[in-house]
Structures are given as C-alpha cells and as structure tokens.
C-alpha cells in the first residue's frame, strides 16, 4: 500500500495530516484490530512532532477508531455486530441519497463512474485499494449529487467504518456488487428515483447478507 503523502502547513494541518495518516494505516490494515498504537513510533514513521500526533490520536479516540485499555491506546476495530448495524443504517441513508440524485448527475460523472465499473472485469487484477477507490467514487458521487451535505457527511463516516471491516471478508461479492452498482447508475441516469433507491437498498442488503453468510459458514 502506497504511503500517504503529508503536506504540513501549520499546526492545524499538521494535526489533520497525522489524523489522516493514522486513519489510513488503520483502514489499510497496517494497524490491526487490538494493536497497540505507539505515539513514539508514529512520530518516527510520520516525521512529525509529538503534539500533532497526540492531538490526532485524541481525535481518533473520540471518533471511536481507537480505544484505551488502562494507559494503552489500541486500535478499535469493527466487530460483526457493529458492521451489521452500520449496513442497516447505510441502507436507509444511501437509498435516500440515490433517490435524490436521480436525474441530477451530470453526463460526465455518469460516464466516469460507468467506465471505472466496466474496467473492473477480473477480480484477480483489482487490488483492494483500487476496489475501494472505485467504490468510494460511486457512492460519494451519488451522495454529493443528492445535494444534502449532512447526508454526505454521515455516509462518509459510516463508509470509513465499513472499510475498516475489509472487503476481503466477502470476495464472492465482487461480480454481483459491480452489477448492482451498474443498476444503480442506470436508474439514476434514467431519472427514476424509486428504482435508484430500491437498487441501492438491494445492493447494501445483499452485501450485509453476504457478510452474515460468510461468518455463518466459517463457524
């Protein structure tokens, strides 16, 4: 995974850079669930002073990406029960976003989303990072087109937690997920809000069911 580039400008941006970098490490699996987060090691790795690192870790703890065990700071991963709750809430929010985006997305954006989806034909040739990049592009394009800034922020937060759970848990979802994405885009392009909402709800419900099935069969 390519390391995140840092662009320090002032104290606030240094803290934001540290926050983004550590969150990226958590999402990429470089910092795993339950792993001890060392302030000293992050200072060395990121080349930043202790102050922005400490402030960023405090923000990450406040956002529940990290948790404390005594004086030790640990990665607070996403458990099965939480991801199922997240997917249920996402189903409601993103269906509403798709409904609102119907008929409003530009032709350029529709073409860009569809081209990226169509280019992902072979799962063996698609890295986890690129899969998430395309997935984010589609879901955020829809949320942004809805015009509801609060909805966009909530969806972004829930998707960040979803990403911490990891796509590799349900690899069988690659092809079905791509087809479901295309159905959502088709409905949005056609200006059919209800069809777009139903397609989005079906997509997220299918992903949620696949997660349940993957854990049931592994028991």
- Residue 191 belongs to some domain of the structure: yes
In this structure, the answer to whether residues 189 and 203 fall within a common structural domain is: yes
- Residue 198 belongs to some domain of the structure: yes
Please check the confidence at residue 16 and state whether its pLDDT lies above 70: yes
pLDDT digits (tens, 9 = 90+) for 157-211: 899 888 877 644 566 788 899 999 999 999 999 999 999 999 999 999 999 998 8
- Residue 195 belongs to some domain of the structure: yes
In this structure, the answer to whether residues 118 and 179 fall within a common structural domain is: yes
The mean predicted confidence, pLDDT, of the chain is 89
Position 2 scores a pLDDT of 45
Q: 128-146 vs 149-165: helix axis angle to the nearest 10?
A: 160
CATH number at residue 71: 1.10.10.10
pLDDT digits (tens, 9 = 90+) for 50-95: 999 999 999 999 988 999 999 899 998 788 899 999 999 999 999 9
Q: Hey, how many other C-beta atoms are within 10 angstroms of the C-beta on 179?
A: 11
Stronger pLDDT, 31 or 145, i.e. the higher one: 145
pLDDT band (50, 70, 90) for residue 219: low
CATH number at residue 143: 1.20.120.530
In this structure, the answer to whether residues 132 and 169 fall within a common structural domain is: yes
Burial of residue 90 (number of CB atoms within 10 Å: 0-12, 13-18, 19+)? buried
CA nearest neighbour of 26 among 162, 193, 131: 162
User: Where is average pLDDT lowest: 17-21, 82-86, 104-108, 171-175?
Assistant: 171-175
Please check the confidence at residue 5 and state whether its pLDDT lies above 70: no
Q: Which of 75, 102, 130 is the last residue of a domain?
A: 75
Range of the domain at 42: 11-75
Position 9 scores a pLDDT of 53
In this structure, the answer to whether residues 71 and 96 fall within a common structural domain is: no
End-to-end CA distance of the chain: 31
In this structure, the answer to whether residues 102 and 202 fall within a common structural domain is: yes
In this structure, the answer to whether residues 71 and 86 fall within a common structural domain is: no
In this structure, the answer to whether residues 86 and 172 fall within a common structural domain is: yes
pLDDT band (50, 70, 90) for residue 145: very high
Report how many domains make up the chain. Answer: 2
- Residue 4 belongs to some domain of the structure: no
pLDDT band (50, 70, 90) for residue 3: very low
- The whole-model pTM stands at 0.78
In this structure, the answer to whether residues 99 and 197 fall within a common structural domain is: yes
């Amino acid at each position: 995974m390519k390391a995140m580039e840092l662009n320090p400008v002032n104290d606030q941006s240094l803290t934001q850079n540290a926050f983004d970098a550590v969150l990226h490490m958590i999402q990429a699996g470089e910092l795993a669930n339950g792993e001890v987060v060392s302030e000293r090691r992050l200072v060395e790795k990121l080349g930043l002073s202790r102050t922005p690192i400490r402030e960023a870790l405090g923000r990450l703890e406040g956002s529940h990406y990290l948790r404390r065990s005594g004086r030790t700071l640990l990665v607070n991963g996403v458990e099965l029960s939480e991801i199922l709750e997240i997917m249920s809430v996402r189903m409601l929010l993103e269906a509403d976003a798709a409904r609102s985006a119907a008929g409003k997305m530009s032709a350029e954006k529709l073409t860009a989303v569809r081209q990226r989806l169509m280019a992902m034909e072979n799962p063996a040739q698609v890295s986890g990072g690129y899969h998430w990049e395309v997935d984010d592009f589609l879901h955020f394009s829809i949320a942004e087109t809805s015009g509801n800034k609060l909805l966009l922020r909530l969806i972004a937060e829930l998707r960040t937690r979803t990403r911490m759970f990891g796509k590799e848990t349900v690899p069988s979802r690659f092809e079905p997920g791509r087809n479901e994405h295309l159905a959502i885009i088709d409905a949005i392009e056609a200006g059919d809000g209800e069809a777009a909402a139903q397609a989005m709800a079906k997509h997220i419900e299918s992903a949620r069911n696949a997660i349940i099935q993957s854990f049931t069969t592994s028991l």
